[in-house]
Copies of this chain bind each other. A is one copy, B any other.
């Protein structure tokens, strides 16, 4: 597997994308509507928010993906089309119908995603006009990545190439964060395209596995959104015999999908609202992988850990506190804790440390917390960001 430099979702053969400023975002210029399409039918799988309040596009797209097929995705930013009742459902359906008409497809081959403010009806006239104006291009991936942003400060794109059946296959995707970010799912929106041929049932399994080790291990603010959507399309342009999970090529593909998903998830964490630092928490020696993931996520999600990282304050007791309420099995007298290269606890005993070294370990743009619970062999990683005045400022004034 090799990462793709400057990856775009259109690096997967047969995919094209395009975006316009339809006027949904208020700034009067940013891209806010994009279309991603395959030039041939594709197998598809999706993962959606488990929030019981689900946006109209989530309901519609989940239903559509039951077929295991999808050829295009239409996405708007600036309005989530959530809590919008029956009119919201009709609007979501109309978005797919308009996109399908542009592409000469059936609406059933198109899924839709929306992100932005909740509880406001979509400006359908603008969207209709916008869809008519989008120009698809095989190099349009970067535009699509920008068009799905809301408070994100930069686009998130990742890709990898992997050898399957003797040839190079691309897996590439985009994601947007940046508030209301917490599993399950975690990112609000992400789309991944591959030119590999993949059987629908294996694509679902590989996606579930990838999400468990990537988006679901990332948190910005603990709020699971109404709109979380991750869709992967596999159009088979590479001409390989469809991967069904039974061989080494399938494993290689699943690894690439996990890798690309993890890169996108880290990108979202790094660009959390108001974030100045990226935090990675590694938990080793847990009683199970689930426990390790749960513990890592509790630590990276703790408001007190996040503020301590922001202030470069080596107040490590907060890490222990979060471990304790994570739900994972924890025995204080076994815990090892290290932040950067500074040891703070070994076997549950406080390690005297140089305060300046502790401050330094928390002062870079990337902070790494390593924990060994010394209870088993479970290992898990989680990603997040610090909590700053910037987060408060952005979210105190979002609709204004």
Question: B-contacting residues of A (Cβ < 8 Å)?
Answer: 50-54, 80, 82-85, 117-121, 179-180, 221-226, 302-304, 307-308, 310-318, 320-325, 329-330, 332-333, 344-345, 348-350, 387-389, 391-400
Contacts and interface: CB of A to CB of B under 8 A. Distances in A.
B348 A304 contact: no
A229 B392 CA distance: 30
A345 B53 contact: no
Given A317-B119, A324-B53, A392 B85 contact: no
A118 B318 contact: yes
Contact of A321 (B121, B180, B333): B180
A221 B304 contact: yes
Max chain B C-beta neighbours (<10 A), residue from A223, A312, A323, A391: A223
A118 B392 contact: no
B397 A392 contact: no
Contacts of A344: 119
Contact of A313 (B307, B333, B400): B400
A274 to B, nearest CB: 9
Contact of A399 (B50, B313, B398): B313
A325 B387 contact: no
Interface of A is mostly: loop
A311 B119 CA distance: 18
Nearest to A350: B119
Given A85-B348, A308-B398, 11 more contacts: A52-B332, A53-B332, A83-B350, A118-B315, A180-B304, A222-B303, A224-B325, A226-B320, A303-B391, A311-B400, A389-B389
Question: What are the nearest 5 A-B pairs in CB distance?
Answer: A118-B317, A311-B396, A53-B324, A307-B395, A51-B324
B313 A118 contact: no
Contacts of A118: 315-318, 320-321
A302 B182 CA distance: 11
Contacts of A313: 396-400
A348 B221 CA distance: 26
A311 B225 contact: no
A250 B266 CA distance: 56
Nearest to A396: B311
B84 A350 contact: yes
B223 A322 contact: yes
B85 A303 contact: no
Contact of A119 (B119, B316, B325): B316
A388 B395 contact: no
B345 A83 contact: yes
Nearest to A224: B325
A400 B323 CA distance: 23
A163 B344 CA distance: 54
Contacts of A224: 321, 324-325
Nearest to A116: B317
Contacts of A388: 392
Contacts of A317: 80, 82-83, 117-119, 226
